[in-house]
């Protein structure tokens, strides 16, 4: 069983009445409930705290199933079991003559073995002093890569724990690349055992590599790549806490539909080994929910996975799709399907295509037409302009069949693979949960797959998923460029500061919004609501002695102000009574420059 945390009420010194039953767990002493979880069809039993507690499912606003109550980064190792990679990851040996590489993923550690097929070295000149060769500036990569699809901005971090190779110039590190083709546009940050590293990039397909050698601390070393639009910043750390920017570059287009790890042994016969741990990716900034590859049902539920076969022609006898979810094949009626995502896709991109039936391509083009089939050959669509056309799955972002007609379930079940199910009921037996989804589809999952249990959308509204607006303080300093000697300049350099509000999902699918002090977050409320609830903390990179007050405004009028939140404190739950306002605004005030506030799972409670 997993350790977990249930949100409960902590009153913050201002007038606020308890949220009604069915909205939030009511704990009279105001403490968080922790312990060992037992889930049944009607309640959650907590064992191991001050006293055993039985809580009805209808009284729970949110229950997080995880090893820690709060964590900034989404750790890929949460999905890695035994020697298996997470479901969305792929491995690729790049280079025509290279022997295949290999990867082992276990207990949060990734061990990569790979090499580069190089020509025989030239004969040494008698009496000459050996000089380490510069990185190979090829038009094609020769290395072993493992990673997953990703589009958008974010921060990619890992520790290079060990490099074991005969060549001292063997390199291992982080990589963002457009495709898995060897000559793809890409950017990579690597460490070598010579206390040096590389920051290399290829701006366009088939171009030569560019970039400088950089100083690296001795291994083990933490590496980080951060992308904001067309700009990528590289940083290193000796402890994973204090980071030193070492290089940056800008590209004509945002580089990277893949993020991952790589190893290059620089040795044509022997495989080199690199060990990575503390691997994480924080997608930010994005106000949109990003759906991984999977199926969006007309009810509004989403299942991560892929279709082995799906025929859209109503004249065919096979009216159901064969869907692979974490290695288990299940049948999904064709009539239940609203869209199929083949690449990570923002929910807003699907919503923008509400009136279309057809394909949203990877490059952003919209192909109107009638979808015909999805299979190993690709995605087939019939249109008046092009007739029957089949596209490779790597070219298609999402296939739209029907508009979403969201149905409200009693609960929302969020799984670790990105699935979200609007559930009307659930049945627990042994270590499995049978979830009846709002459209009647039954999905069986293990207890270990559940990341979060929430009240259904008929009871709560996630503020982070609304069309919110952020207003920064009057004066916001621009981000300073990182000076790098002898770094080639690339067209369309970006010097703007990152957007002030960062948004991402935590390891238990919780929505996290980070805002600098002084920034106002305004949320338009679509309906009648009587209360707000959220956890609040200061970001770990806020000044050590900083503290902030949170102001809550309803239709522009202040209705609540919290006592100070201090840096280093665990997140606290805040609730505020409201009276059906049209907008609510959250703002943090502080005299400490650089403080940033985390609003974790901000929700509004519906006025039933």
Q: What is the CATH number of the domain that holds 472?
A: 2.60.120.1060
State whether 237 and 325 are in the same domain. Answer: no
Tell me which DSSP letter residue 8 carries.
B
Residue 129 lies in a domain: no
**Residue 509 to residue 195: CA distance in whole angstroms:** 38
Q: Are 91 and 100 in contact (CB under 8 A)?
A: no
Residues of the chain with pLDDT under 70: 1-38, 48-52, 66-84, 86-88, 116-138, 151-152, 228-229, 251-256, 267-270, 282-289, 314-319, 354, 474-499, 507
CATH code of residue 148: 2.60.120.200
For residue range 272-316, what is the model confidence (pLDDT) as tens digits?
889 998 887 766 545 556 788 899 998 989 999 888 888 877 666
State whether 272 and 321 are in the same domain. Answer: no
Q: Are 373 and 340 in contact (CB under 8 A)?
A: no
R_g of the chain computed on alpha carbons? 25
Q: Where are the alpha helices (DSSP H) in 274-390?
A: 347-351
pLDDT score, position 267? 61
Residue 504 lies in a domain: yes
Task: Count how many domains the chain has.
Answer: 4
State whether 57 and 175 are in the same domain. Answer: no
Distances (CA, A) of 516 to 42, 465, 539, 550, 599: 41, 19, 9, 12, 11
pLDDT score, position 507? 65
**Residue 452 to residue 63: CA distance in whole angstroms:** 6
Q: Are 149 and 176 in contact (CB under 8 A)?
A: no
Strands (E), 133-205: 143-149, 154-164, 171-177, 186-192, 196-202
Residue 159 lies in a domain: yes
State whether 333 and 389 are in the same domain. Answer: yes
State whether 83 and 14 are in the same domain. Answer: no
Q: For 41, left (φ over 0), alpha (ψ -120 to 50), or beta?
A: alpha
State whether 513 and 385 are in the same domain. Answer: no
pTM above 0.95, yes or no: no
* Domain-ending residue, one of 65, 89, 109: 65
Tell me which DSSP letter residue 186 carries.
E
Residue 433 lies in a domain: no
Residue 544 lies in a domain: yes
Residue 178 lies in a domain: yes
Residue 540 lies in a domain: yes
Residue 347 lies in a domain: no
* Domain-ending residue, one of 243, 263, 283: 283
State whether 532 and 496 are in the same domain. Answer: yes
Strands (E), 315-441: 320-325, 328-333, 337-341, 345-346, 358-361, 366-368, 370-375, 378-383, 387-391, 396-400, 411-415, 420-429, 432-437
State whether 305 and 251 are in the same domain. Answer: no
State whether 184 and 109 are in the same domain. Answer: yes
State whether 586 and 537 are in the same domain. Answer: yes
State whether 512 and 588 are in the same domain. Answer: yes
Q: Which residues, other chains included, contact 453 with Cβ-Cβ below 8 Å and sequence gap of 6+?
A: 39, 44, 57, 60, 62, 63, 65, 411, 412, 413, 414
- Determine the structural domain holding residue 104 and report its residue range: 74-119+138-283
State whether 53 and 86 are in the same domain. Answer: no
């Amino acid at each position: 069983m997993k350790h977990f945390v249930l949100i409960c009420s902590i009153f913050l010194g201002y007038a606020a009445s308890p949220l009604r039953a069915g909205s939030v767990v009511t704990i009279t002493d105001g403490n968080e409930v922790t312990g060992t979880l037992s889930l049944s069809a009607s309640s959650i039993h907590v064992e191991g705290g001050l006293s055993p507690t039985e809580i009805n499912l209808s009284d729970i606003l949110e229950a997080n199933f995880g090893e820690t109550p709060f964590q900034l980064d989404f750790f890929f190792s949460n999905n890695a079991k035994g020697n298996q990679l997470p479901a969305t990851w792929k491995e690729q040996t790049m280079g025509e003559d290279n022997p295949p590489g290999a990867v082992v993923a276990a207990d949060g550690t990734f061990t990569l073995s790979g090499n580069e097929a190089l020509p025989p070295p030239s004969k040494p000149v008698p009496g000459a002093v050996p000089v380490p060769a510069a990185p190979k500036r090829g038009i094609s990569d020769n290395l072993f890569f493992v990673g997953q699809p990703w589009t958008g901005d974010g921060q990619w971090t890992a520790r290079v724990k060990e490099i074991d190779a005969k060549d001292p110039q063997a390199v291992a590190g982080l990589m963002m690349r457009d495709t898995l083709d060897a000559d793809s546009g890409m950017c990579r940050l690597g460490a070598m055992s010579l206390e040096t590293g590389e920051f290399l990039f290829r701006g366009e397909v088939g171009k030569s590599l560019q970039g400088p050698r950089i100083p690296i601390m001795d291994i083990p070393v933490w590496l980080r790549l951060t992308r904001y639009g067309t700009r990528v910043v590289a940083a290193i750390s000796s402890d994973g806490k204090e980071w030193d920017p070492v290089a940056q570059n800008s590209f004509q287009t945002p580089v990277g539909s893949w993020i991952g790890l790589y190893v290059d042994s620089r040795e044509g016969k022997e495989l080199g080994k690199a060990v990575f741990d503390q691997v994480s990716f924080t997608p930010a900034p994005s106000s949109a929910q990003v759906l991984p590859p999977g199926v969006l049902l007309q009810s509004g539920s989403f299942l991560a996975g892929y279709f082995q076969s799906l025929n859209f022609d109503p004249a065919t006898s096979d009216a159901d799709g064969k869907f692979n979810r974490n290695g288990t094949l299940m049948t999904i009626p064709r009539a239940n399907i609203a869209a199929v995502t083949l690449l990570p896709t923002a929910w807003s991109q699907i919503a923008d295509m509400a009136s279309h039936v057809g394909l949203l391509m990877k490059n952003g083009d919209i192909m109107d037409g009638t979808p015909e089939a999805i299979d190993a050959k690709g995605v087939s669509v019939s249109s008046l302009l092009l007739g029957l056309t089949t596209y490779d799955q790597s070219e298609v972002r999402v296939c739209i069949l029907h508009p979403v007609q969201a149905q409200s379930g009693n609960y929302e079940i969020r799984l670790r693979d990105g699935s979200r199910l609007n559930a009307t009921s659930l049945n627990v037996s042994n270590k499995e949960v049978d979830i009846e989804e709002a459209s009647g589809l039954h999905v069986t999952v293990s207890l270990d797959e559940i990341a979060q249990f929430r009240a259904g959308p008929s009871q709560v509204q996630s503020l982070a998923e609304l069309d919110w607006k952020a207003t920064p303080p009057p004066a916001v300093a621009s981000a300073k460029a990182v000076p790098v000697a002898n770094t080639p300049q690339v067209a369309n350099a970006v010097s703007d500061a990152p957007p002030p509000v960062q948004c991402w999902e935590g390891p238990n699918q919780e929505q996290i919004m980070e805002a600098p002090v002084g920034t106002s977050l305004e949320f338009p409320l679509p309906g009648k609501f009587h209360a707000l609830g959220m956890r609040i903390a200061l970001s770990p990179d806020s000044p050590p002695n900083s503290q902030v007050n949170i102001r809550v405004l309803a239709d522009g009028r202040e209705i609540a102000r919290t006592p100070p939140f201090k840096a280093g404190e665990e997140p606290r739950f805040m609730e505020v009574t409201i009276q059906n306002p049209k907008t609510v605004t959250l703002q943090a005030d502080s005299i400490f420059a650089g403080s940033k506030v985390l609003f974790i799972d901000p929700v509004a409670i519906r006025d039933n």
